[in-house]
Amino acid sequence: MSSSARRDEIAKNLAAVESQIRLAVENSNRERSEVTLIAVTKNFPASDLVHLYDLGIRNFGENRDQEAKSKFEEFNNYIEDKEQEVKWHFQGQLQRNKLRSIATWANFIHSLDQDRYLPSLQQLSIDLEKPISLLLQLSLDLPIRPDRGGVAPEELIELGEKVKDYPGLKLQGLMAVAPLDVAPDLAFGALKTISATFLRAFPDANWISAGMSGDFAAAIAAGATHIRVGSSILGSRT
Ligand SMILES: *Cc1c(COP(=O)(O)O)cnc(C)c1O
């Protein structure tokens, strides 16, 4: 496919997603500005990120460190983002030996679900001379499924308090993925209740990262501030 045909395809998909976001926002009596669209670009080339940038997207989500880091470098060769408007989001499962690399390119880590990473992340914030922004990944699976990541609702506040013990770490909010076997509005209804309690404990940690291609309207209804949308914009991943 030529570059301009690919750009047109992405533009068309993005416009359809945008109108679905506007509808969901209206139906929930919310404002469009309360919801940030993160384009999930895993498995797609840096050239697609350049198209997305041209179309106004400033937030990219990635799951794998190595893939993301090389794309980050390639993208930055194309686009000199003087205002530093582009933000990179890591949303894959964390691994200890990848933390340093992730912290070099990611502005936000959405998938913290274990306190054992915190001392290393604190050290990285010192080495890299920047705060590290973390979202706690909440599991909505019952029972918890370790292969999908996330902490149990009853462990959430305790993990948040541990993050707060480290001056180099910034507690940004919550992230959740809907279970495979539950209707998204039910799952995100639980998220809404849990996030209200979380916000009372940590009023500054007010991001709610929830909703993907199949369920972002339900997530917006439940209060999501950041939706992570891949295939609806870029096509199915092979
Ligand atoms: C891949 C992925 C997404 C995007 O999924 P789509 O269904 O392609 O929109 C969002 N969040 C996480 C955690 C993912 O792994």
Residue 48, domain CATH:
3.20.20.10
Nearest protein Cα to ligand 1, atom 6: 230
Is the distance from CB of 128 to CB of 102 less than 8 angstroms? no
Q: How far is CA 156 from CA 1, 125, 149, 202, in A?
A: 46, 23, 13, 11
Query: Which ligand 1 atom is the nearest neighbour of the CA of 177?
Result: 13
Q: Give me the number of domains the chain comprises.
A: 1
pLDDT score at 153: 96
Q: What is the whole-number distance in angstroms between the Cα of residue 168 and the centre of ligand 1?
A: 28
- Ligand 1 binding pocket (C-beta < 6 A) is 40, 42, 63, 91, 177, 212-214, 228-232
SS3 call for 162 = helix
Q: What is the whole-number distance in angstroms between the Cα of residue 209 and the centre of ligand 1?
A: 11
pLDDT score at 74: 97
Q: Which of 21, 37, 40 to mutate to test the pocket of ligand 1 (most atoms within 8 A of CB)?
A: 40
Pick the closest to residue 228 from 88, 84, 60 (CA basis).
Answer: 60
The rounded radius of gyration (Å) of the Cα atoms in the chain is 17
pLDDT score at 220: 98
pLDDT score at 2: 86
> What's the CA gap between 204 and 150, in Å, rounded?
21
Condensed to tens digits (0 to 9), the pLDDT of residues 40-75 reads: 999 999 999 999 999 999 999 999 999 999 999 999
Is the distance from CB of 107 to CB of 145 less than 8 angstroms? no
Q: Which residues pair with 13 in a beta bridge?
A: none
Structural domain including 95 reads: 3-234
Residue type (1 letter), 114? Q
The vertex-36 CA angle with 31 and 38, nearest 5°, equals 155
> What's the CA gap between 26 and 168, in Å, rounded?
38
Q: What is the whole-number distance in angstroms between the Cα of residue 214 and the centre of ligand 1?
A: 9
- Please give the biggest Cα pair distance in the chain: 51
Pick the closest to residue 113 from 130, 131, 95 (CA basis).
Answer: 95
Ranges of residues in the chain whose predicted pLDDT is under 70: none
> What's the CA gap between 207 and 86, in Å, rounded?
18
The four Cα atoms 136, 142, 147, 149 give a dihedral, to 10 degrees, of 0
Is the distance from CB of 92 to CB of 62 less than 8 angstroms? yes
